[in-house]
Structures are given as structure tokens and as C-alpha cells.
């Protein structure tokens, strides 16, 4: 029998995307690789993407880690990129260490991936030093994301903010819309495009289309999170149809 891995996710209560995109990626992987996956979530309350709500939500992540540890998940993903980034530069390292500690306390130790850390690590894995990004956020939050990424040594040469503050509405955006939105980015001197720097903004159907058009690596928060989950599990980082990062090369 193929080994079954339990994928845990800590998600904002209004998030409807990460519990669909990550399973979609891994189901595609199941068609070509032996491993199988089940999916398990715990939720933190958040309706509007504001700095205040994000901070309040992040404080609830410890409870979620304990709950998922009780399910003995094999890896745990913190599925809110901007919540981590709004807590201060480099905060993903502190969050991953703290939440791993909660799983140890609960008797179900599991490695922890944050979407914020995964995006940075995914960009570094492909060797990207200059990027252009698309976000659904209001412009001040997009700037926060830009500052966070640049603090990690990656220059953001251009960004587009769709300025949708209601998180539920973000999840209802057309997953193919990034194909058109990213055409407006200045990509002349970039090494990669981030088609969705937000775990709630659907983009999975756009990733390969944008990469094929642009001729450079294209990734998203969900693609990067899946990549890092596979790395933490010691599995081949391959899932067909979702861009260079999941080509198995990195």
C-alpha cells in the first residue's frame, strides 16, 4: 500500500481557497506518484484583512496547532501569508518554531510551514532575486508584503493591488483573472512572477498559463506552501501543471 500523509492546515475562518488549492495540487501529484494524502484543518476567526484583525487571529494559531497535533498530522501549514507578515519582519521563523512547540506539547510533533516563509523559500529555491507580485490587498498591506519580501533579500520591482478588503470576497475572485492582471505587471527585469501573494486569492488555474506566456517561473502562495510541505515530508517536489517550482527540479 502507498503511504498516506496527513496534511494539516491552520486557516482563517473566512478562507475558502487553501482547502481547495492544496488538495488539488496534491491530487494531481497522486496521479503520477505513489504517495497519498488526507487533509485536516483548524480555523482562526477573521473576516476582514486588516492589521488589527490579523493580529487577533494570529494569537489563535496556538490553539489550532494543538488541535491538529491531536490528529497526528505529518506536516502543518499556517495558511495566511499576510497575517504572518503583519507581525513583523522575519516573523515566520518565530511562528514556525512556536507552533512546532505546540505540536510537541500535544504529543504529535509535526514540522510547520507558514505560507509567508514558504513564499520566500520558494523564491530563493528558484534563484529569484527580483520579482513582480499580484495581491488582492489594499495598498498599505501590499507594501507590507513588499517590505517583508525585500527584508529577505528579494527585490520587488513591481506590484499590483486589487484592493479587496473583505476576505470572503477575495475567495470569490476568478481563478483565471491573474492571467490578465499579470499582463499589467512590469516584468522586464524580474526573475519570477508571484501570481497570488495571498492564500485566499484563487490563482491555481492561472499559474501554468502565465508561466508559458511569460517564459519565467510563476508561483503563488499555495504552490509555494505545497512545495515546502513536500520538502518537510522528504518527498519529491513534483506536481504536474503548476509551474517550475513544482517541476521536481528544486
Catalytic residue among 7, 10, 80, 99: 80
Catalytic residue among 81, 82, 119, 198: 198
Three-state secondary structure readout of 140-205 = HHHHHHHHHHHHCCCEEEEEEECCCCEHHHHHCCCCCHHHHHHHHCCCCCCCEEEEECCCCCCCHH
Question: Are 158 and 149 spatial neighbours (Cβ–Cβ below 8 Å)?
Answer: no
Question: Are 82 and 58 spatial neighbours (Cβ–Cβ below 8 Å)?
Answer: no
The answer to whether residue 64 is catalytic is no
Question: Are 82 and 141 spatial neighbours (Cβ–Cβ below 8 Å)?
Answer: yes
The answer to whether residue 80 is catalytic is yes
Catalytic residue positions? 80, 198
Amino acid at each position: 500500500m502507498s503511504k498516506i500523509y496527513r496534511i494539516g492546515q491552520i486557516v482563517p475562518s473566512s478562507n475558502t481557497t487553501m482547502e481547495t488549492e492544496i488538495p488539488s495540487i496534491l491530487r494531481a501529484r497522486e496521479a503520477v506518484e505513489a504517495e497519498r494524502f488526507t487533509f485536516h484543518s483548524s480555523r482562526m476567526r477573521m473576516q476582514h484583512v486588516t492589521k488589527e484583525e490579523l493580529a487577533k487571529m494570529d494569537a489563535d494559531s496556538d490553539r489550532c496547532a494543538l488541535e491538529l497535533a491531536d490528529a497526528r498530522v505529518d506536516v502543518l501549514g499556517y495558511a495566511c501569508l499576510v497575517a504572518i507578515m503583519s507581525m513583523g519582519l522575519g516573523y515566520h521563523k518565530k511562528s514556525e518554531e512556536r507552533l512546532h512547540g505546540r505540536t510537541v506539547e500535544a504529543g504529535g510533533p509535526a514540522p510547520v510551514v507558514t505560507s509567508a516563509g514558504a513564499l520566500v523559500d520558494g523564491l530563493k529555491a528558484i534563484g529569484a532575486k527580483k520579482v513582480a507580485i499580484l495581491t488582492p490587498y489594499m495598498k498599505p498591506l501590499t507594501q507590507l508584503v513588499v517590505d517583508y519580501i525585500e527584508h529577505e533579500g528579494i527585490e520587488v520591482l513591481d506590484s499590483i493591488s486589487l484592493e479587496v478588503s473583505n476576505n470572503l470576497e477575495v475567495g470569490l475572485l476568478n481563478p483565471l483573472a491573474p492571467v490578465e492582471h499579470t499582463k499589467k505587471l512590469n516584468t522586464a527585469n524580474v526573475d519570477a512572477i508571484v501570481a497570488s501573494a495571498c492564500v485566499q486569492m484563487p490563482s491555481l488555474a492561472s499559474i501554468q498559463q502565465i508561466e508559458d506566456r511569460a517564459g519565467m517561473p510563476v508561483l503563488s502562495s499555495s504552490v509555494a506552501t505545497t512545495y515546502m510541505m513536500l520538502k518537510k515530508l522528504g518527498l519529491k517536489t513534483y506536481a504536474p501543471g503548476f509551474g517550475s517550482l513544482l517541476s521536481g527540479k528544486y
